[in-house]
Amino acid sequence: MSTPSAASTVPLPEGVALETVHGVDAVVVDTPAARAVVHLDGAHLTSWAPTGEADLLWLSPDSAYGPREAIRGGIPLVGPWFGPGRDGAMQVKHGWLRTITWELAAASADGEDVVLELVTPQDAVKLTGRAVFRIGRELSVDLTLTAGATPLEVEAALHTYLAVGDVRRIALEGLESADYLDNTRGLAADVLGPGPMRLTGSTDRIVDAAGEVVVTDEALGRRLVSSPRGTAKTIVWNPWDELVTSMGDIPDDAWPEFVCVEPAVAKDRFVSLRPGAAHTIGVTYRIER
């Protein structure tokens, strides 16, 4: 087992260790309250399981790992743009936050919780990032983006892959009657129905809603509660069998195992930052039976 030199000087509380996971550097949390894994590449949380529960997050068995690779699954940090950007001109999808190596800045215990703080490297000057993970019986993730010396228009998202028993048997509450853009139909404007949202095919919807979303998972007999803050949109995504075959890092038969429910500031709800200004998006998750 090796430890990353840049992080080895940070004092670690009991239950926290620097380890090599999938061949790359990660912070592993193993306490009486929960177990979690945060990779330094992308400040990417790939696992959180409160004691006695299966993992909240789905992680592709075919994911790539390492410098400049985008891990498939867990909670990718998306920014400073979403998708190809608002004008569609960005060649790197979802920005660079998820493909750089972050630095572990602090690790502490707070009651039964562990709090980890990761920051972008020193050479990130136009925009800097700070990610804080509070890991316990609930999970909280907060991403703060701060502009450098010039103004910026920022999009950001927490691209969470929630593990489900069968995406065809879940219901999403909290998005009822909301306006949305359908990215499977060229960002066509539409309105969700008055009842819980159910997925019946390839889904990529940018929903004009920022409240709590509850995913009722009939197959696993649990409810996943997502409570966002500092956001304006909720993206719901699953490739279905229609698109998964074009994705080399997801097995063709794995699409029923997850749904992405992503708190975001994106499209027309981007954030304008003056020099030195910051914006934080965050979410808290809990699992209910």
Confidence of residue 5 (pLDDT cuts 50, 70, 90): very low
pLDDT above 70: residue 1: no
Is-contact 100 78, C-beta < 8 A? no
Q: What's the whole-model pTM score?
A: 0.96
* C-alpha to C-alpha distance for 174 and 99, rounded to whole angstroms: 31
What pLDDT, on a 0 to 100 scale, did the predictor assign at position 124? 81
Tokens 């929960």, located at residue: 34
What's the mean pLDDT in 135-163? 97
* Nearest to 56, CA basis, from 43, 46, 65: 46
The token duo for 65 is 């790992």
> Measuring CA to CA, which residue among 66, 103, 96 is closest to residue 79?
96
Confidence of residue 7 (pLDDT cuts 50, 70, 90): low
pLDDT beyond 60 at 14: yes
CB atoms within 10 A of CB 167: 21
Tens of pLDDT along 161-170?
Answer: 999 999 999 9
* CA 150 to chain CA mean position, Å: 27
Per cent of the chain over pLDDT 70 is 97
In the chain, % of residues over pLDDT 90: 92
When pLDDT is cut at 50, 70 and 90, the band that residue 123 belongs to is confident
Q: Please identify which of the residues 44, 159, 257, 279 carries the catalytic annotation.
A: 159
- For the segment 173-217, what is each residue's pLDDT rounded down to a tens digit? 999 999 999 999 999 999 999 999 999 999 999 999 999 999 999
159 included as an active-site residue: yes
Chain centroid to Cα 227, Å, comes to 13
Whole-number pLDDT of residue 122: 86
Mean pLDDT of 52-75: 97
pLDDT tens-digit map of 30-57 = 999 999 999 999 999 999 999 999 999 9
- Tens digit of pLDDT for each residue in 253-278? 999 999 999 999 999 999 999 999 99
262 labelled catalytic: yes
Q: Could you say which of 117, 155, 257, 262 is catalytic?
A: 262
Q: What's the pLDDT band for 11 if we cut at 50, 70, 90?
A: very high
Cβ atoms of 40 and 46 closer than 8 Å = no
